[in-house]
Structure 1
Amino acid sequence: MKSETMAVLLLVLLLCAESSIAQDVFSPSIDIIAEIEKLKHMDERIQKLEEALTNVLSENEALKTLVQESQNKLETVQKENEAKKVAFSAKLLKSGTGKTGPFNGLKILQYKKVFSNVGSAYDSNTGIFTAPIKGAYYFRFYAHSHSGTTMAVSLLKNGVTKCSVFSWKPVSNGNGSNGIVLTLEIGDQISIQLWMKTWVYDDPAGYTSFSGFLIFPL
């Protein structure tokens, strides 16, 4: 009887132990559901961070594009401003003293001593100014001759006379100057022409000269 009682007691104790183990397994101290919720929230935060990073990268690319476009526009404006800077001044003889002419025909004067040539529109090899941009330009020229000689020069636009100076056998020295404002298209040419059988004089003082500049573009 005692043995049967002991067996029952051992069986009860074993059942209690198994129940306790089962409780520990199925009801652990860590809240798994809460941890899963935390992981879900963390995943949502990571996703939001990734979206924010993607937006920042997109904005960065857009900013790079904007900066590049601004640089391109700035370079274009700088080039346009450089093209608007046109001015030159030159005298007839590069050095020394002497006269030019007379000739049996018309002669384009080549002003060899260049004082300034901003924009490189004047060519001292030909004596011709070529307009680099459309605009209003101002030109002025001076000519000098000695007594008893005739001096006559004209300013030409594309080969057509626009204004002139003339001195016929002065008693002492003959001087003349003239100026004009012209509207030029790109490629229009301005030159100074010596009349046939006349001559001009120049020396280091620069008595015979040719100058011009862009007033404003059009």
Structure 2
Amino acid sequence: MKSETMAVLLLVLLLCAESSIAQDVFSPSVDIIVEIEKLKNMDERIQKLEEALTNVLSENEVLKHKLETVQKENEAKKVAFSAGLLGSGDGSTGPFDALKILEYKKVFSNVGSAYDSNTGIFTAPIKGAYYFRFYAHCHGGASMAVSLLKNGVTQCSVFSWKPVSNGNGSNGVVLTLEIGDQISTQLWKQTWVYDDTASYTSFSGFLIFPL
């Protein structure tokens, strides 16, 4: 009788064990489900990080563009030039039967490239207040007269009427210029100027501040 009871108990235990094994095999583990949820959460965080990184890169591009714009604006604000009349040698320019724009060939500096030595004309690259100064020299017995022009209109002049010895004159002016305004110096009719390697006759200007 005892042996039969033991057999029944063993059979019950075996059935329980098989049931437990089957449950473990065919039912997902709670730990696996948790890990899957963690992976899902990680994917979401990675996606958010990618979106944040994309936004940062876009902001960096915007900042880079703004920086380049500011740098270009700052470069445009750097305007200054100075030039002597003759590039080399010595001699007089004039007299002429008509007004003559002086072309200063010996360029000492031309920051911003606003002065054109081929024409003698300075063209304002930005709106602002500018300062210009020019010098003229002549020998005794000759008349010298030079004017500074803004868009072809006289602003100020220097003059020396047949000096006994050498004649010199200089003048300067502050002008408000718009983009594209042109500044030049003009030799009067039947007058002349002299220059040599010492650059007695010269023309200079620079931007004081933008407007």
1:160 to 153, 157, 180: 153
1:106 equivalenced with 2:102 (yes/no): no
Q: CA deviation at 1:115?
A: 0.6
User: CA deviation digits over 1:17-76, x for unaligned, max 9?
Assistant: 532321211244987899632222212211211111111111111111111111111111
SS at match of 1:171: coil
SS at match of 1:23: helix
Query: Where do 5+ consecutive residues of structure 2 fail to align?
Result: none
Query: Aligned partners of 2:83 and 2:158: how far apart in 1?
Result: 18
**Aligned counterpart, 1:5:** none
1:138 equivalenced with 2:128 (yes/no): no
1:58 equivalenced with 2:69 (yes/no): no
Q: Which aligned pairs between 1:38-49 and structure 2 lie closer than 5 A?
A: 38-49=31-42
**Aligned counterpart, 1:215:** 208
**Aligned counterpart, 2:192:** 199
The CA RMSD over aligned residues, in Å, is 2.4
Greater alpha carbon shift after TM alignment, 163-172 vs 44-53: 44-53
Q: Which aligned pairs between 1:166-205 and structure 2 lie closer than 5 A?
A: 166-205=159-198
Greater alpha carbon shift after TM alignment, 198-207 vs 25-34: 25-34
Indicate the percent of aligned positions where both proteins have the same amino acid. 63
Q: Match of 2:55, as an amino acid?
A: A
Task: Output the TM-score relative to the length of structure 2.
Answer: 0.92
Q: CA deviation at 1:14?
A: 6.0
Q: CA deviation at 1:172?
A: 1.0
User: CA deviation digits over 1:109-130, x for unaligned, max 9?
Assistant: 0001111111111111110001
Q: Match of 2:187, as an amino acid?
A: L
Query: Aligned partners of 1:176 and 1:16: how far apart in 2?
Result: 130
SS at match of 2:29: helix
Q: CA deviation at 1:9?
A: 9.0
User: CA deviation digits over 1:166-215, x for unaligned, max 9?
Assistant: 00111111100000000111110000000000000001111000000011
Query: Aligned partners of 1:149 and 1:61: how far apart in 2?
Result: 74
Q: CA deviation at 1:16?
A: 4.6
SS at match of 2:43: helix
SS at match of 1:42: helix
**Aligned counterpart, 2:120:** 127
1:151 equivalenced with 2:144 (yes/no): yes
Between the two proteins, the alignment pairs up a number of residues equal to: 211
SS at match of 2:131: strand
SS at match of 1:18: helix
**Aligned counterpart, 1:22:** 15
Query: Aligned partners of 2:86 and 2:21: how far apart in 1?
Result: 109
1:74 to 52, 67, 72: 67
